[in-house]
Chains A and B, each alone.
Chain A
Amino acid sequence: MITKRQLGFFILALGLLLAAAVLGVDWLGAGRWGEFGPLQRYGLLFSGLALLVGLGLIARGNRPA
């Protein structure tokens, strides 16, 4: 059985990965925009949301997910 905390860590990791990918796109020189693109803004928004949900779930402790 997966707990809220475990699920929270999973979603937190997804959020961090998404943020890294969004920022890494520019570093790798990929993407269609020279600067920080509009899709990256949405990506960061979603990663921020994932971080919030992840932290919120971690705070719920070992209750079953």
Chain B
Amino acid sequence: MSRGASRGMRLALNPGVEPKRWQFAPARLLLALALLMYLGYAALYTAYAVQLFRWPYDYDQGEGFELNDALLFSRGEWPYRDNAVYPYYASNYPPLFHLLAAPLVALWGPHLVIGRVLSFLATWLTAAAIAWLVHREVGGRVIPALSGLAFLVSPYVYQTGPLFRLHTTMVLLELLAIGCLARFEDPRHGRRYLWLGVFLLLLAGYTKQLAVFTVAAGLGFVFLRDSKRALLAGTALAAVAGLLFWLLNRATAGQWWVNIIQANVNAFDYLMTLSLFQQWFRLHPALILLAGGYALYELFWDRLSAYTLWFFFALGTGALSGKWGAGPGYFITAVAASALLAGLAGGRLLQRVSARRRPWLEAGLALLYLSYGVTALHLPTDGPVVGRLARWLGVADQPQQLACAAYPYYDRTGYTQLGHWLTAADYQAGAEIMAYVRAAPGPILSEEAMFSLLAGKPVVTNPTQVNNLYYNGLWEGTDLLQRIYDEEFDLIILRAQFYPPPVLGAIWFRYQPVARLCLNGFEYTLLLPPRRLGP
């Protein structure tokens, strides 16, 4: 008889003294409080998303460029182009998310709300999938519900979930892949789970390159249990992924390789990684401790599950956050994995604890989940309900100070460019910038794509992409520089000045600043060519 079986039998034979119903009351009350708190966070997240759906401009600098990728796909064009040729634009992401958005963009036009709704739905589906997987593995209702909602409580998910960014779709596909691979030994449907899991890994990888860590976790799990099947699945995945890669590279005359791989090679700053790891732990300590403890238990005293391996490998995803263009969002996979694993830890503990100790364990778990709600605190600090709550919590006088505006929003993350709610002044500033854009007869050069897209103008270059290529010695920008010197752009809009130094030099040498407007907390500088300034 195995040790696990003998322990289970011992518990069955000696379950301890059955506690009275009233003894559960404090624990149930705490669990209900935790659920209520998490539902409050989910409602706040939904309200934040809905106000973002109405915002027509970039909230995060990359959103408009991702919309442009979807727009190009909807027209049957590749977004993987030669950055040396007008309009000097290329995407640095794989195509799946933009292909999902493309039919909707073809139907309704280039609007950010399309991708924002898709990403928002992806986060809710991820939360639902976490809850379902925890329920599938350990049963129960409250712990699975708390586990799923815990994903939405994370400030990282709140900040980036409803953006036109592909990251959360990748996380959803990663989670579904791991959920399938976890059951690849199922006697009836094992083969189906294995190949569906491998297919989902392929989709995740073609949503964002970062999914490579989840691919390693998924195949690593299969390898631990059945190395032959792992080699077969891994070979098949590598063959299909490689063939797609080759076809895409061939179809884009090598621009796929340049823009997806070479443009993403950045200098690594380990201090940034360490700082983000500290922040991740500071915001999610209860989840991480529960998940980490359970992972160590499985590592040494039980069999490693797919979920635990995913948790370990998700830390690798986080470790890549120390490069330009990366950030806390790289920890969303780790948040999903830790929420899932924490739920499994709670569920397994409740299964194994004696009846006499169960009320104490339930109360302990509830307190842990409540503490996570406190450490992850984020909320707007004005408004009829949240304003009062913020005052009660003592955070109402800690606004989020951005470059040119302060927003009534508190976030334990600290400084964050995301999460605040947009104001009437932001809408006004956006309309003023659009007036300049519409008054420009010809093409414009804008650091954010939405101004161009909303005016029906071509999106000329992606500053971060050409900046990466410039520093990797893969872009000179001669043609673009000549156009700037020839004053071919009727308006230039700068925000963070992400362009490579020669481009910025040419802009400031040739163009004159005519307005500085504060939009979404950032100062936008509008520059005109001298020929448009008049005598």
Contacts and interface: CB of A to CB of B under 8 A. Distances in A.
B136 interface: no
B304 interface: yes
B225 interface: yes
Interface in A21-54: 38-39, 42, 53
Contacts of A20: none
Contact size range, A: 10 to 19
B24 interface: no
Contact of B225 (A1, A38, A42): A1
A49 B299 CA distance: 14
Contacts of A57: 299-300
Contacts of A65: 224, 303-304
Given A53-B299, A57-B299, A65-B304, A2 B223 contact: yes
B300 A60 contact: yes
A9 to B, nearest CB: 14
A7 B225 CA distance: 12
A42 B300 contact: no
Contact of A56 (B227, B274, B300): B300
Nearest to B274: A42
B226 interface: yes
Contacts of B224: 1-2, 7, 64-65
Nearest to B271: A38
Nearest to A65: B224
B508 interface: no
Contacts of B225: 1-2, 64
Interface string B27-56: 000000000000000000000000000000
A7 B303 CA distance: 12
B270 interface: yes
A39 B226 contact: no
Nearest to B268: A39
Contacts of B301: 60
A52 B299 CA distance: 13
- Give the interface centre of A2, A7, A53, A57 by most chain B CB atoms within 10 Å: A2
Nearest to A1: B225
Contacts of B303: 64-65
A64 B4 CA distance: 14
B226 A1 contact: yes
A16 B425 CA distance: 58
B348 to A, nearest CB: 18
